[in-house]
Structure 1
Amino acid sequence: MEHTPPEPVLALAHAAARRHHLHPHQVRPLPAGEANHVLALGEHLLLRVPRTPEHAHDLAKEAQLLPLVHAAGLPVPHPVEHHTTPRPHMIQTLLPGHDLHGHHPTTRLLTDLGRHLTHLHHLPTHRLTLTPHQDDTTRPHTLIRRLHHTGHLDPDTAHWLHTWYRHLETHLPPHPPEPALIHGDLTPTNLLTGHDGTLTGIVDWGDAALADPAVDFAKLPPHRLTPVLNGYLTTLSREDDTLTWRARILHHQLTWALARLKDPHPRPDARHWSAPPHSRLLALLRLFTTHPEPTWRALTPPD
């Protein structure tokens, strides 16, 4: 659904259009994002205007890292202009295609996404001064005890969850993984596809961070993970333990799903798949009940 931006944002868009020799009638509002007002300028440019100062910082971060990611061959927008006055905004290239919200991605798209993530997670990051380190400090056993104490979990379920985590922990690496550049918000709404089902864009890099690479798989619906991970692992130059990677990803997915139980309020206006309070838990149920491959089944809790 398109939205009508505030008048100052429209005025900024019309000024940007004139600067690029476009008529104001060629300014077209696009679906609103949580962080930015988004408007198309003609057929090839996109204007993003942050809603808050915090979001302005995220946009500045994108302006710094997108050229690096673009140069690595990932299908991302290329920043054309980034300004801080009269209010922060960025003009970038408009990628073809539509987002995956409400659509079924092809296996080819998901596999290609995995290959691109391999390249992303191995980019040099020493020049990225605005990209924060993200450490997942959630302790799942503490979280389970709190959910039990507050009445969100019964004792038997809490015990079962502790058992599941202890099983996952036997497959985790002995030391924390080296931080890598991650997109941080790989929901279907930030993935673009063409009419032929190919991946045409990875957009909205405001949540990019230096973190455990497995975090990038935690915003994807679990039942879509297998082809993404297959593409990811086949691109690596070394042999990686498939079971270890799945354990790392499942550990994040399950922890985020349980953490959402503390905030059970629905958000009917949000477009991302994990906005409904119980979507993550139901998505894990879907993963383990729709004929998962043996590697996923090996990570279910023991009897």
Structure 2
Amino acid sequence: MGDQDEILSGVTAIGRRYGVPPEGVAEVAGGVANRGFVLGESLFVRVARPGFEDDLRKEAAVVPMARSLGVRTPAIVEYDDSRRLIDAPYVVMERVHGVEPTGVPLGLAEQLARLHRADRIELPGVPQDDRDDPWRTVDDLAERGYLDADTAKWLSGWFTRLAGRFDRNEPKVLIHGDVAAHNLLADADGHLRGLIDWGDAAWAHRGMDFAKLPLDHVASILPTYIRTFQSAAERGPREDEVAAAALWFHLDWGLGKLAAKPWPGQRHWTAPPGSRILGLLRFFAADPPAPWSTLT
């Protein structure tokens, strides 16, 4: 019996423990870090792929924290890394019914604000992300011939201007790390039902959590994100600061991927090497409102 069949057999055995017959077990296509299986109508199993075991262990620590803050994410029913039933760590989770949204789901801004208000505590496997030198990325691309000298100078100047628009040393917040359509579940009316897959969670600058949404989506939810802090009578960040930080990461990560090899067949919009940079061009060509119009 092959490894794939052994995993399916193990998941089927897990299903029996929860009263789900074999015909109620079905694998869901996709998933880079995990294989996913539905267990009837109420449960879902995620099995770590080789090399991603630590991500699933991190998720088991972060999800209870996120739920305690009121973040809509499926509850973890069981986490097991004993490898008795399956030769890989797995989690049994609440199954949340929803679809991948085509736009920005209603409620996402409020959910991110809840998450970013988390008190700093030790969470197993959750790192601090301090990536913060885009000027080196620009210099490297110029040296390798991906950028001409004048463009490299202009981009370095853009990063310098953005660096003056937000506090790069503000206290780190808990971020999801992969806020993208494939990790969001929405109902038929477009309301967010669940934020899933916490394998990239980290303590990082809040702007990083807006880096995997298209910039027009970021611009649409940012005012509500800011108002959520104000409605809770908390001193939150200013909209222009978060916009500058989000743009910083979009530009940095977009440049960092210019020299990558194509990755065809992927559904997330950031997969093609040029998508982020062209997304920036598209966003600013559409004449965005303030504060975005002041950030170039």
**If the TM-score is normalised by the length of the shorter chain, which range does it land in?**
over 0.9
Question: Mind listing any 5+ residue stretches in structure 1 that lack a counterpart?
Answer: none
The alignment partner of 2:45 has SS state of strand
Aligned: 1:209 with 2:206: no
Change (3 A) 1:152 1:96: same
Note closer, same or farther for the CA distance 1:78–1:281 as it changes in structure 2 (3 Å cut).
same
1:240 is aligned to 237
Give the equivalent residue in structure 1 for 2:94: 93
Match for residue 156 of structure 1 among 135, 150, 155: 150
Please give the alpha-carbon distance, in whole angstroms, between the structure 2 residues aligned to 1:240 and 1:57: 32
Report the residue type matching 1:271 in the other structure.
R
Q: Deviations over 1:174-200 (max 9, x none)?
A: x51211111001111101111111111
Give the AA of the match of 2:99.
H
The residue that corresponds to 1:12 in the other structure is 10
1:109-128 to 2 correspondence within 5 Å? 109=106, 112-128=107-123
Shift of 1:120: 0.4
Note the C-alpha offset of 1:225: 0.5
Tell me, in whole angstroms, the C-alpha distance in 1 between the residues paired with 2:32 and 2:115: 24
Structure 2 vs 1, CA of residues 22 and 250 (structure 1 numbering), >3 Å: closer, same or farther?
A: same
Please report the RMSD computed on the Cα atoms of aligned residues, expressed in angstroms: 1.7
- The match for 2:68 among 63, 67, 71 is 71
Is the Cα–Cα contact under 8 Å of residues 132 and 210 in structure 1 kept in the other structure?
A: yes
User: 1:200 aligned to 2:203?
Assistant: no
**Paired residue for 2:29?**
31
Q: How far does the alpha carbon of each residue in 1:243-274 deviate from its partner, in whole angstroms, 9 at most, with x for none?
A: 222111111110000000121x1112322110
Contact 1:114/1:227 (CA < 8 Å) preserved in 2? no
What is the identity percentage for the equivalent residue pairs of Structure 1 and Structure 2? 36
For 1:285 and 1:194, the matched residues in 2 are separated by 31
Q: Distance in 2 between matches of 1:239 and 1:78?
A: 28
C-alpha deviations, 1:112-151, integer Å up to 9, x for none? 21111111011124241321111114x2222212111111
Retained in 2: the 8 A contact 1:113–1:231? no
Residue 228 of structure 2 corresponds to residue 230 of structure 1: no
| 1:6 match: secondary structure | helix
Please say if residues 174 and 201 of structure 2, whose CA atoms lie closer than 8 Å, have aligned partners that are also in contact.
yes
TM-score under structure 1 normalisation?
A: 0.90
Q: Is the 8 A contact 2:128 2:204 kept in 1?
A: yes
Q: How many residues align?
A: 287
Counterpart code for 1:189? H
Are 1:275 and 2:271 an aligned pair?
yes
The answer to whether the Cα contact below 8 Å between 2:165 and 2:241 also exists between their aligned partners in 1 is yes
Q: Per-residue deviation at 1:169?
A: 2.0
